[in-house]
Structure 1
């Protein structure tokens, strides 16, 4: 019975986030975490490949009505290019964060309690998801398209004392 209830709640929350509908539960916010899309030939700061650009545009379509208040990305081309189509479609500026400062960005996100997208890397996304209280196995260099949706609800307290219930969904961002 409990798993059916969790499934129904997950479907309702996903429908609300993707459709831009009213909040299903009071005092909730969602943090989306995704690895950058496919990169071009390996170089020190590669841009996205054509397939990666397609995936970035699909991500923008998926989250266009998620009522995002902020988009964060590391300062690398591949992460910035993954976030940019969505940022442009919703009128936000991509804010940079240092990949080694997961704790700082997560504290800020939880304190604000706003719908947010974070674009990271194969070696940072699992730590970000876990740092938010979710579950993620390690990603490989070949893992692209996993979108972690962490919805926090029934939040109480402030600052470091803030506690919320968490519902996690894992989606796939296709290339077409």
Structure 2
């Protein structure tokens, strides 16, 4: 049921305007440990596969991540399925510069582009806001299942927030 709702949301936004960008924003999947640049845990690998399954019909033509391997590993199944190269965007200049660089990179794409952005709990809400979704809620550190789909149509941004994969274990 959840997958059908998400598929319907993706279809609705994609059909909203032939000249609107569709941007899918997710946080990286569960990490294996608390090190500086961890791999994905087993649950994270399952979630990365669930993301690819959720985006089968979305056809992203661009995938942006941070340079950290947990974001790249989360994006890899989707990127491989759609034969898209992952483009990491660095943290030079800190979080605000990273957020601005991601937003600028998205905005520079053609009007009909479909984009997947995989970031972090502290960057995904900021990227959503930078792209015009001012109501984007902050993310708890335990939240891994939120999927935000933005429809960017000029100065207008519409959003649908859904969930994918197993529910996050936030208390």
TM-score, normalised to structure 1, is 0.80
Tell me whether 1:108 sits opposite 2:101 in the alignment.
no
Alignment of 1:156-175 (within 5 A): 163=155, 165-175=156-166
Following the alignment from structure 2 to structure 1, what is the Cα–Cα distance between the partners of residues 21 and 58?
A: 10
Distance 1:46 1:83 in 2: 15
| Residue in 1 that maps onto 2:83 | 91
1:35-84 per-residue CA deviation (whole Å, 9 max, x = no partner) reads: 00110121121111111111110100111221211001111111111000
User: CA contact under 8 A between 1:12 and 1:24: conserved in structure 2?
Assistant: no
Q: Where in structure 2 are the equivalents of 1:1-176 lying within 5 Å? A: 14-16=10-12, 23-99=15-91, 100=95, 101-112=98-109, 113=111, 114-134=113-133, 135-153=135-153, 155=154, 163=155, 165-175=156-166
Contact (CA 8 Å) 2:29, 2:47: kept in 1 or not?
yes
How many aligned positions are there? Answer: 154
Using the TM superposition, give the Cα deviation of residue 11 of structure 1 relative to its aligned residue in structure 2, in angstroms. Answer: 8.3
| Structure 1: unaligned runs, 5 residues or longer | 1-9, 156-162
Q: Higher relative contact order at CA 8 Å, sep ≥6: structure 1 or structure 2?
A: 2
Q: Distance in 1 between matches of 2:11 and 2:15?
A: 10
**The residue matched to 2:108 in structure 1 has which SS?**
helix
Q: Distance in 2 between matches of 1:137 and 1:16?
A: 22
Distance 1:76 1:142 in 2: 18
Which deviates more from structure 2 when the two are superposed, residues 66-75 or residues 23-32? 23-32
In structure 1, distance between residues paired with 2:75 and 2:21 = 19
Give the 4+ runs in structure 1 shifted more than 3 A: 10-13
The Cα shift of 1:13 comes to 5.1
- How much is the aligned-residue C-alpha RMSD, in angstroms? 2.1
Q: 1:16 offset after TM fit, Å?
A: 5.0
State the TM-score, normalized to the length of structure 2: 0.82
